[in-house]
Amino acid sequence: MSLNFEHTTLGQRVLFGAGKAGAFLAAEVARLGARRAMVISSASEALRLKDVTAQIDVTLHYDDVAPHVPVERAEKARAAAVAHGIDLLVCAGGGSATGLAKAVALTLRLPIIAIPTTYAGSEATNMWGLTEASRKTTGIDNAVLPVAVVYDAELSVGLPMELSIASGLNALAHGVDSMWGPRADPINAALAAEGIRALNRALPAIKTNPEDLAGREQALYGAYLAAVAFASAGSGMHHKICHTLGGAYNLPHAQTHAAVLPHVLAFKGPFAPEAEARIAAAFNSTSAVEGLSSLRETLEAPPALKDYGFAETDIPDAVDLILPTIPDTNPRTVNGEDLERLLRAIHSGATTGSNPE
């Protein structure tokens, strides 16, 4: 088979080592020559990571962080950065902290150092998202790509088990969606497959022993690879559904991805046999759906969006919001009836089949 594709690799430093976050952060701040750092982190994460951020001079600690980055909070954070003459953003924590740092960098063009404590993957992408009037808008801008990412498995040990699982499945969704995103290519597929393999090993290990650093390291490694693939391939149907639902109905980000993924995979997999086979192989399973189902059963993963505030009465409106966002490159044509059936299954947590009608 001949190869014919166009691929862009984003430039970013990655520093990986358990117990080394503080030293890595200090070295990167010195390398960048930054003098006035703004640390963006939730109040709880700021307290937990105080020994890490104490390794640098911090001009402003900022903790007004919220999921899906409401526009008004982004504007407030930008104003604070300007008022304090900030020349570097350090986001420490989960995807909400990273998202807010990106929103500031989007307009102020400041460099970001990211210290992830979950498996959100946002730190490895040049994608941003803002929510206004219950509508989430996303875009691409290289200014929001962190210049450096610090991965320290010790910092994820305190992550609650439910969030570890949901966040890990969110990372897995990046890998799956990369197989058939608008700009999918063989390089994305290779990175995504290795990310899925790593997460498939790591998440059960974390479930068995939450203190296991080896499992946590594999999860961070897999999450990074899946996110790099996703940044290149672009958002497919899965992410369009999740971003719309999250912004419109204020659903928790990671849990939404965890609940949506098996249904979208079952819907699309039979129409993209090559991608389905790669996903199945990454799971070491006979089919992609069976591999994911087995992992989810092991993890006792979030089964239904009704458990997180998505009401059945919201489904018709959600169909209208999501349908126009589905990429033309989706391997299976989607109409309103398809999408309504899919959302009803996602809402209830119905068992997925190989090819839902």
8 Å CB contact between 149 and 14: yes
The angle formed by the CA atoms of residues 68, 120 and 146, to the nearest 5 degrees, is: 85
How much is the pLDDT for 51?
96
Residue 182 is given by DSSP the state T
Phi then psi for residue 237, to 5 deg, are -60, -40
How much is the pLDDT for 356?
44
Residues 41-94 have pLDDT tens digits of 999 999 999 999 999 999 999 999 999 899 999 999 999 999 999 999 999 999
Q: Regarding predicted confidence, which is higher, 278 or 133? A: 278
- β 127-132/135-140 pair status: antiparallel
Which CATH number, 1.20.1090.10, 1.10.1740.110, 1.10.3720.10, 1.10.40.50, labels domain 161-348? 1.20.1090.10
How much is the pLDDT for 135?
87
**Same fold? 13-156, 161-348:** no
Asked whether residue 346 carries a pLDDT value surpassing 90, the answer given is yes
Question: Hey, which of 129-133, 150-154, 160-164 has the most confident mean pLDDT?
Answer: 150-154
Query: Over pLDDT 70: what percentage of the chain?
Result: 98
Residues 246-301 have pLDDT tens digits of 989 989 988 999 999 999 999 999 999 999 999 999 999 999 999 999 999 999 99
How much is the pLDDT for 353?
53
Over 267-329, what HEC string results?
Answer: HHHHHCHHHHHHHHHHHCCCCHHHHHHHHHHHHCCCCCHHHHCCCHHHHHHHHHHHHHHCCCC
How much is the pLDDT for 136?
86
Residues 173-185 have pLDDT tens digits of 999 999 998 999 9
What confidence tier does 95 reach under pLDDT thresholds 50, 70, 90? very high
Residues 223-241 have pLDDT tens digits of 999 999 999 999 889 999 9
Residues 194-209 have pLDDT tens digits of 999 999 999 999 999 9
Residues 326-344 have pLDDT tens digits of 998 889 999 999 999 999 9
Q: How high does pLDDT run on average in the chain?
A: 94
8 Å CB contact between 189 and 179: yes
What average pLDDT score do residues 124-139 get?
A: 91
Domain borders along the chain are: 13-156, 161-348
Give the integer Cα–Cα distance in Å for 121 and 139.
16
Over 141-162, what HEC string results?
Answer: CHHHCCCEEEECHHHHCCCCHH
What confidence tier does 190 reach under pLDDT thresholds 50, 70, 90? very high
Q: Give the distance between the most distant pair of CA atoms in the chain.
A: 58
Beta-bridge mates of residue 129: 138
* Domain 13-156, architecture per CATH: 3-Layer(aba) Sandwich (3.40)
8 Å CB contact between 175 and 192: yes
How much is the pLDDT for 357?
47
How much is the pLDDT for 341?
95
Nearest to 256 by CA among 157, 336, 149, 136: 136
Residue listed under structure tokens 């990369």: 178
What confidence tier does 31 reach under pLDDT thresholds 50, 70, 90? very high
Give the integer Cα–Cα distance in Å for 278 and 193.
7
